[in-house]
Amino acid sequence: MLPAKVKILFVVKANAYGHGAAPLAKEAERLRLKGEPSADFFGVSSVEEGAALRKAKIKTPILILGSLYPFESFLEAARLNLIPTVASLEGARQLSAAGLKIKKRLAAHLKIDTGMGRVGVSHKNAFEVVDFLSKSRGAALTGIYTHFSSADSDSGYTRLQIERFNKALKNNGLKNGKILIHASNSAAVLNHPEANYEMVRVGGVLYGLWPGFKPLLSFKARIVFIKKMEKGASVSYGRTFRARKPLRIATVCVGYADGAPRAESNKGEVLVEGRRCKIIGTVTMDMLMIDVTGVSGARVGSEVVLIGEEGKEQISASEAAGFSGTISYETLCAISQRVPRVYHW
């Protein structure tokens, strides 16, 4: 979708939205070596996340999207060749001091707040920080960026953010080519190509969480126990489910400690043998129960799909998120570390 000259930052924070940051980053580097379009940068949220990628021998430039605190971590970021985000004059001063300490000009990207209201120097008075960084002998401004709050839902507001960003760039004499300018997330790549600038930062489209993109991940477990339930019998903590007729119930070895939200109790659905089955009773820490009355092939060992495809049926991350009233991003980030990730490249 993107013109070839637009660089791409793969957002791999939060363990690549639950997919596993190091294996995905490695695969992205392999694709790039093969000459395929891939990551020019990786984006993480903290020094620790960047350190994990460096430990996995990732060589690609890494931008820390989060605002660093305590500021001493600028030295650790420099040691690991991670590019920090500066979001205030105080941050710029501390970065410069860290650079002077080790006699280096430490590269940083400046974050401008054009209306997200999270972190960043206000678009109205970025001059002070840009001026400070351009004169500093301990820091070097190599990139500048902003972040959209509603590129999926409010094009008027996104256009206002773009306008504010353009004005801030112009007022500070910052031009394409001199410095890496970036703004767009997945929604903006899809809806606002005028905001591509020199690089885009994408997570959602990369993981196939947006319509028209192929999901990368399936989340599966297995049936570990099957029993018949008599009319009137209850299931799980608090007896929130009672059988109105005899049922065949399966226990699945996945619970809220794995990332099957407790909020899916008596609401969620999963796939067994390509058929939809309801989650019944309260989801427990390590197990949940489903109604397999209509699925005669269900047995101990059968695969249970919480997110993914089976036969003609599919449960997307967005649908699964809807069962517990959240969004696909949160649902994937919630798949915990104890769930083994298996990669099929």
Indicate whether 204 belongs to the interface with ligand PLP (CB under 6 A): yes
Q: How far is the CB of 328 from ligand PLP (least distance, A)?
A: 10
Is residue 203 at the binding interface for ligand PLP, with CB under 6 A as the rule?
Answer: yes
- The footprint of ligand PLP on residues 72-131 (CB under 6 A) is none
Active site residue 167: no
Contacts of 91 (CB under 8 A, 6+ apart): 67, 68, 71
- Smallest gap, in angstroms, from Cβ of residue 149 to ligand PLP? 11
By CB under 6 A, the count of residues binding ligand PLP is 10
| Phi, psi torsion values for 153, nearest 5 degrees | -135, -15
When asked if residue 331 is in the footprint of ligand PLP (CB under 6 A), the reply is no
Nearest to 147 by CA among 266, 26, 63, 245: 63
The reply to whether 217 sits near ligand PLP by the rule CB under 6 A is no
For the chain, how big is the Rg over CA atoms in Å? 24
Catalytic-role residue among 7, 13, 145, 256 = 13
User: Which of 232, 216, 239 has the alpha carbon at shortest distance from 289?
Assistant: 239
* Interface of this chain with ligand PLP, residues 173 to 202, rule: CB under 6 A: 185-187, 201-202
Q: Which of 147, 164, 192, 275 binds ligand PLP (CB under 6 A)?
A: 147
Structure tokens at 124: 């109205």
Helices (H), the chain: 13-17, 21-33, 47-55, 73-79, 89-101, 127-135, 155-171, 186-191, 317-323, 328-333
Residue 175 burial by Cβ neighbours in a 10 Å radius (0-12, 13-18, 19+): exposed
Between residues 47 and 235, which has the closer beta carbon with respect to ligand PLP? Answer: 47
Q: How far is the CB of 190 from ligand PLP (least distance, A)?
A: 10
Q: Which is nearer to ligand PLP, 290 or 332 (CB)?
A: 332
Residue, CB closest to ligand PLP: 203
Q: Tell me if residue 13 is catalytic.
A: yes
Backbone torsions φ then ψ of 110, nearest 5 degrees: -95, 135
The set of catalytic residues is 13, 237
The site for ligand PLP (CB under 6 A) is made up of 11, 65, 147, 185-187, 201-204
